[in-house]
Structure 1
Amino acid sequence: MKSESTTQHKGAVTHHELKQTLGTWQLWGIAVGLVISGEYFGWSYGWASAGTLGFVITALFIAAMYTTFIFSFTELTTSIPHAGGPFAYARHAFGPTGGYIALAATLVEFVFAPPAIALAIGAYLHVQFPGLEPKHAAMGAYLVFMALNIVGVQIAAAFELCVTLLAIFELLVFMGVVSPGFQWSNFTKGGWAGSDTFSMGSFHGMFAAIPFAIWFFLAIEGVAMAAEEAKNPKRSIPIAYVAGILTLVVLAIGVMVFAGAAGDWTKLSNINDPLPQAMKYIVGENSGWMHMLVWLGLFGLVASFHGIILGYSRQIFALARAGYLPEWLSKVHPRFKTPHRAILAGGVVGIAAIYSDELIQFGGQTLTANIVTMSVFGAIVMYIISMLSLFKLRRSDPDMERPFRAPLFPYFPAFALVAAVISLATMIYFNLLVALVFAAFVALGYGYFLMTRHQREIAPADVLLEE
């Protein structure tokens, strides 16, 4: 008689199954919602390194990387619609070790992004309630949205779509309200790393700003982790991805330009709430528009925070189901059919990061900047292994069903791969301490990986990867 952990019949693994309830609009909401907080904060730290004009060039380069990456990544997502996302693709292409590299990178990305967003939520609330400690508010956000994710993916996805639409509306309102004070001279003053003229030093600043340009788009690939809960992933995911990346590119450029042209952009380059502070230049501190921005701005932060909790929990769930993490993390709630243990596990790590100033605030960077950079390291490594997986599977498994094929292959994935490698190299150069911490996480995880081979051998058969 087989135990629960070794039951391999497709319909028998009831404690390891997710409900298929998500449609195209909900997936688009997740795609945009995962990322849209990047339009509200984080990116402006790039101004401190590159200046406004230098950062525009960096952001356009990264936007091109993400656009080509998403068109290429969609081929993997629709060919292997698996909650593990990049882990599943790399394991299919390169075996267990490849799967480990992808899972370690993706976990760092998706577990460290939420605490950065939670701190921004705390900063926005602190504007309205000066007596409220931002870290305590950040922890409260974790508790509320972990609970919402546990209640059910249908409710969570509907909420995500609503707050994403409100967040987009709010960004358009922001651009409209500051437009009367738009002055291009404000944006261009000191626009080349603090100088009015371009120099070789401008290149230094543009490369240093790469992590914060990536923050504009970080985590859009998380839709892949909802693939097992999509009604028709082979049709709906390509639509959601393509529409999502186009939406985000337009919003990112608009927000960056309008915020920088509103006043002295140097005062916005090292804070967690650049949009409310930019609006102050135009409408003053006590304007009703100002208060509206703070409250509606929370929708953008909440959309990403909530969406990434959904993403990291599915990643942890899939890894535990495959034996890469402790098996008890793969249990789904008997009533809500959501990976409740995985949701709580990621939350514990995130809350610990919020209160770890002494450990994470180093190298002259703020706590938020270091958490953002750590998350971006994970993302870039995952992008590299994903594009390598795409090339490998095209050769090793040419007959695989591919409902969506990467356009302009091999040029799109090759550009995305080269851009990601350049980004990783420059990030290591400019953020060596964070890179070493990231490497330590990966090394410790690899030790666990080597010691738990038996755990993976007795894990339930993964039908999607065995077919």
Structure 2
Amino acid sequence: MTNEKLKPTLGTLHLWGIAVGLVISGEYFGWSYGWGVAGTLGFLVTALVVAVMYTCFIFSFTELTTAIPHAGGPFAYSRRAFGPRGGTIAGIATLIEFVFAPPAIAMAIGAYLNVQFPALDPKLCAVAAYFIFMTLNILGVSIAATFELVVTVLAVIELLIFMGVVAPDFSLANFTRGGWAGQDQFSLAAVGGMFAAIPFAIWFFLAIEGAAMAAEEAKDPKRTIPKAYIAGILTLVTLAIGVMIFAGGVGDWRALSNINDPLPQAMKGVVGEGSVWLHLLVGIGLFGLVASFHGIILGYSRQFFALARAGFLPHGLAKLSRFQTPHRAVLAGGVVGIAAIFSDGVISLQGMTLTAAMITMSVFGAIVMYIMSMLSLFKLRRSEPNLERTFRAPGYPVVPAIALVLAVVCLIAMVWYNPVIASVFVVLMVIGALVCGLSRRQGDIAPDAAFGEA
């Protein structure tokens, strides 16, 4: 197992940048598809419930991350709690989450660039983004994490600028008009819309858990990771609610509910097409998309790496480059993402746009992983009471139970409203499990203490 150990170089600020950067594109696009099915008020309710789930989840997940600082993240926790089968479920679900999110973000990057430069082909821009940021990830985690921190800070500043510029034109009447699934009054249809909007509310926070996959590369992870996670979830909840409310109150929110660039279009209605503020939003707004895109590439590469190093995927994916980065794992996820981009307009799932379909697929992976992680937390509390836990989930067992119950409700609702994508997800999980089983039978892997093995 030579050349398969990651080097710890990341501090608290880097980890905060990764945690927030992984997610912050969710504030720029994707969530507005939820307005199309739930309306502004219905989606606000859904987003608040999902925010509660994520807050409870992160406070609980941090216990696992600090107790078992491993590049596999949820894969490592579930394998330690439930053995190879548990690890397989969590590992493949996490891969699906992190591999299918980047194509959606790359397409949004293309859409934002097309606003600024109409002659550019959004699809080619999306592919170019893959090549640029896969290269940056291969060049070294310290460089990648520093870049992630810088673009994340710029993205946060830009969201605050957006809210400040549109605030004078905010109207509560605009936000609430037709706010219950297109109706002014609450109804049973509004309830259905709120459940259907769950994937797009989750998109606000999706992938924050990816910072756990940088745990092996963190300096003093038992101290730095809790600080980064707690500050990260508070940052994201504040920004998500603020952006959603201000964007929905500056004009006709229906015009923003099925597009990849809702913030530039919302600002355009306030300041005009030639305004310097609009160009600033589009220019700096790209940093938000880039931060998530870049960070999720880091996340999926570490998941491929961890599964391969443990013998669950072909072992070649665990090899490190001379920059001490899992370059083969970076490229593997890129192949899948670029193929997904070129399938836009060729393959249709439930009549959704590519972006909406990729978001929903990614969310399926995330929810299954959240459920496995919370089950692992409960199992390890019973089976390994003496495991060193420098951070303990506050309010245990209530807080993790809230996260677990809400995650299960989300999964049931998503299956009900997205049966075709749910079926594709199950097929991908089965294929992934078969590959893992075949790789484990053919491999000769040394025991790993992270999994409780001697």
TM-score, normalization by structure 2:
0.99
Report the counterpart of residue 65 of structure 1 in structure 2: 53
1:284-433 matches, within 5 Å, as: 284-333=272-321, 335-357=322-344, 360-433=347-420
Q: Which residue of 2 aligns with 1:9?
A: none
Does 1:463 find its partner at 2:436?
Answer: no
Following superposition of structure 1 onto structure 2, how do residues 35-434 of structure 1 map, counting pairs within 5 Å? Answer: 35-333=23-321, 335-357=322-344, 360-434=347-421
Alignment check: 8 A CA contact 2:28 2:285 kept:
yes
2-structure distance, mates of 1:462, 1:349: 29
Residue aligning to 1:440: 427
| d(CA) in 2 for partners of 1:16, 1:462 | 13
Q: C-alpha displacement at 1:455, in angstroms?
A: 3.2
Q: CA deviation at 1:452?
A: 3.0
Q: Say if 1:322 and 1:459, in contact at 8 Å, map to a contact too.
A: yes
How far the C-alpha of 1:447 sits from its partner, in A, is: 2.0
The alpha carbon displacement at 1:359 in A equals 5.8
8 A Cα contact 1:38 1:215, kept in partner: yes
Q: Distance in 2 between matches of 1:308 and 1:237?
A: 17
Paired residue type of 2:97: E
Distance 1:455 1:308 in 2: 29
Structure 2 gap ranges (5+): none
Cα distance per residue 1:114-162 (max 9 Å; x no partner): 1100000000001111111111000000000000000000000000000
Give the TM-score taking structure 1 as reference length: 0.96
Tell me, in whole angstroms, the C-alpha distance in 2 between the residues paired with 1:192 and 1:304: 30
Residues 367 and 407 of structure 2 are in contact (CA less than 8 Å); yes or no, is this contact kept in structure 1?
yes
Deviation, structure 1 residue 393: 0.4
Distance, in Å, in 2 between the alignment partners of 1:422 and 1:71 is 19
Cα shift readout 1:319-344 (whole Å, capped 9, x = no counterpart): 000011100000001x2100011001
> Partners of 2:97 and 2:291 in 1: how far apart?
17
Residue 418 of structure 1 aligns to which amino acid in structure 2?
V
- Secondary structure at 1:324 match in 2: coil
Matched residues in 2 for 1:360 and 1:459: separation? 39
**Conserved 8 A contact 1:82-1:228:** yes
Q: State the shift of 1:29 in Å.
A: 0.5
How far residue 358 of structure 1 moved from its aligned partner, in angstroms, is 5.2
Preserved contact between residue 360 and residue 370 of structure 1 (Cα < 8 Å) = no
Per-residue deviation, residues 293-348 of structure 1 (Å, max 9, x unmatched):
10010000000000000000011001000011100000001x21000110011111
Aligned-residue CA RMSD (Å): 0.9
The answer for unaligned runs of 5 or more in structure 1 is 1-12
Runs of 4+ in 1 over 3 A off after TM superposition: none
Kept in 2, the 8 Å contact 1:321–1:330? The answer is yes
User: 1:30: how far off?
Assistant: 0.4
Query: Is the 1:353–1:360 contact (alpha carbons within 8 Å) kept by the matching residues of 2?
Result: no
Over the matched positions of the two proteins, sequence identity in percent amounts to 70
User: Which amino acid letter does the alignment assign opposite residue 276 of structure 2?
Assistant: G
1:51 touches 1:194 (CA, 8 Å); kept in 2? yes
Is the Cα contact below 8 Å between 1:85 and 1:225 reproduced in 2? yes
Query: 1:359 and 1:421, CA in 2 relative to 1: closer, same or farther beyond 3 A?
Result: farther
Cα distance, 1:22 vs structure 2: 0.2
Q: Distance in 1 between matches of 2:428 and 2:314?
A: 17
Q: Check the 8 A contact 1:360/1:371 in 2, yes or no.
A: no
Query: How far apart, in 1, do the equivalents of 2:438 and 2:109 lie?
Result: 39
- When structure 1 is superposed on structure 2, of 378-387 and 356-365 the one drifting more is 356-365
Query: Of residues 29, 45, 50 in structure 1, which corresponds to 2:17?
Result: 29
